[in-house]
Structure 1
Amino acid sequence: MLSNFRFLRRLMPKSTISTAALYSKPTQLDTQITTIKLKFNKQNNVDKHVEFCEKFGITFSDKNLIHQVCTHKSVRSNTAPTNERLDFLGQKVISLYAAEYLFNQVKPSELHDRVYLYTKRSENIGKIGVKMGLNKLLHWTPINESQVIEAERNGQSLQSLGEESVTGRALQALVGAIYHDQGAFAAKQFVHKHILSAPIDIR
């Protein structure tokens, strides 16, 4: 067996790459470079959330809360918490402060519809979130029209998702997270400064 191997090596041209070079283990430098790249990518993702919170003066006692805010229920995971409950809470909080804000500004007959514009009209709350840059932090799985049609054929209900709609959900979840973690006063300040002061489509 060994003699056959030596015979084959004599037949190989000198420029042929050695088997040792082909099957050599990564060097210590290669390992260090790979590790640095992984750390950089992970740190870069974290920095986006940190920068967003710093930009808008948001401080959470739990640093993972901002990741939950940005994780939509369309992400299929058994471990990552989604923003569904925070979204529900945030919608109610925005409705409360919007009603307070508009109470003396519009007719009683118009109050419900005007509050509705801030919470139920996804294009309004979504546009505010996009303008803030929240859409760049989202973790979600888009649902296209073909999936909706297929679901309807099977007797199921499925809504198509767009970035603006998911961003609106995330913004409501952000308000819910601020209310839950920092209290009513912090949530009210955020809602007035970034949502109620923003121009919306009232048509």
Structure 2
Amino acid sequence: MKLGADLRGFCERLGHDFAQPDLLIQALTHPSMASPTRGDNQRLEFLGDRVLGLVMAEALFDADRDAAEGQLAPRFNALVRKETCADVAREIDLGTVLKLGRSEMRSGGRRKEALLADAMEAVIAAVYRDGGFDAARAMVLRLWHSRIASVEADARDAKTALQEWAQGRGEPPPEYLELSRQGPDHQPVFTIEVRLSGGQRAQATAGSKRQAEHAAARTLLEQVSAG
């Protein structure tokens, strides 16, 4: 099976040349496009999630040999969560090569976080099945490199800490509002505002909602802590 120009370009962004192109096709096929002769990516997603988890666990274990399990666990969770997988998928423009049914295409499936995250995990599995664990690990470490380097060591992320601060004062949880979304679908920029019931608020801008929410929470947490 020969891949079209769009999929060859995607393989270049992945950094993996498939010996079995049908694995890549299956990884990119959403259930809405499945048929008796064309499988979807759900089984590969299941496998890819486990491959990603092992690569991340090993990378974090080797990167900080003094970290306790309580420090490693939140870093691991931040790296393998669906939001992170979707962010990586956007960076390599995975949405443009997804094979979607008409209903999903009409509803903006190429931009949906869940679909992008699932497909990213399926692609990891496809690389694993095609080239083995070393090939999958090399690809994941390359695509996740900056995230591994910058993942926070603190066991509590900023959103959790801000929520605990509010709850400790008998206030409801913080509210997060999307103020704007700009840029192309494969490289969006979000501006998020976080508000507390007491009127305190802060804004932040980042390449994903999750990153912007965490940045806004961190800013507001610093404000209320200083006050």
Give, in angstroms, the shift of residue 188 of structure 1.
Answer: 0.9
5+ residue gaps, structure 1: 1-42, 146-159
Q: Which residue of 2 aligns with 1:134?
A: 94
1:100 is aligned to 2:61 = no
Higher helix share: 1
Please give the secondary structure, in 2, of the residue aligned with 1:110: helix
Which residue type is aligned with residue 79 of structure 2? Answer: Y
- Deviation per residue, 1:144-196 (Å, 9 max, x gap): 99xxxxxxxxxxxxxx9962221111111111111111011111111111124
Q: Take 2:12 and 2:31, find their aligned partners in 1: how far apart are those partners?
A: 25
TM-score by length of 2: 0.56
Q: How does 1:2-151 map to 2 (within 5 A)?
A: 46-103=4-61, 104-105=63-64, 106-119=67-80, 121-141=81-101, 142=104
Q: Take 1:175 and 1:52, find their aligned partners in 2: how far apart are those partners?
A: 13
Q: Take 2:119 and 2:15, find their aligned partners in 1: how far apart are those partners?
A: 17
Aligned residues: percent identity?
28
TM-score by length of 1: 0.62
State the structure with more CA Rg: 1
Give, in angstroms, the shift of residue 126 of structure 1.
Answer: 0.1
Higher strand share: 2
Q: Point out which structure has higher relative CO (alpha carbons under 8 A, 6+ apart).
A: 1
Aligned Cα RMSD in Å? 2.9
Q: Quick one: structure 1 residues 136 and 161, their matched pair in 2 at CA, closer, same or farther if it must change by over 3 Å?
A: closer
- Deviation per residue, 1:96-150 (Å, 9 max, x gap): 111111125343113223222232x2221101111111111111243999xxxxx
- Deviation per residue, 1:69-103 (Å, 9 max, x gap): 11112335222111111111111111111111112
Q: Take 2:136 and 2:34, find their aligned partners in 1: how far apart are those partners?
A: 29
